[in-house]
Copies of this chain bind each other. A is one copy, B any other.
């Protein structure tokens, strides 16, 4: 695919993720340099003390890493693993995850991600993540292409 096609395809993929819709997340920026995913921290996304639930932050890291790595690998990819460090409670009202492919090879893209909480005039770093997006094996790629589904999954390897 051409670069522009990949981006269009990735955006369409994001919008087909039911869970991203449930969360209310948006893919705000996407290039071969980075993916930016944002969500407004409405009350349904909080834990019992009013901060963003850790699971919301881990979703943001997972998905931003998936799309950053997926574009770097031209689309036939999946997130294999990641780790996240929570560093400050996130009170929003806006959360932004920025993931960058730091190392891209024939078989994987290793991405780093930072999540910030944005208020009127303040940005707070709330989490740091690092993970691997793996290129799908070539026979799987053929299946994907045949079925015209592609793969930027935010998910897991169909072995």
Chain A at the B interface: SS class: mixed
**A62 CA to B83 CA in the complex, in Å?**
11
User: Interface code A53-90, partner B: CB below 8 Å = 1, 0 otherwise?
Assistant: 11111111111001000000000001111111111111
- Indicate the size class of the contact surface on chain A: 35 or more
The distance from the CB of A51 to the nearest CB of chain B, in whole angstroms, is: 5
The distance from the CB of A132 to the nearest CB of chain B, in whole angstroms, is: 6
**A46 CA to B20 CA in the complex, in Å?**
9
**A38 CA to B74 CA in the complex, in Å?**
35
Task: Report if A99 contacts B (CB, 8 A).
Answer: no
Asked, given contacts A47-B18, A81-B81, A81-B132, whether A155 binds B63 with beta carbons under 8 Å apart, the answer is: no
Chain B residues with CB below 8 A from A66, complex form: 54
The distance from the CB of A53 to the nearest CB of chain B, in whole angstroms, is: 4
Nearest B-chain residue to A14, judged by Cβ: B48
**A56 CA to B45 CA in the complex, in Å?**
13
Task: Report if A6 contacts B (CB, 8 A).
Answer: no
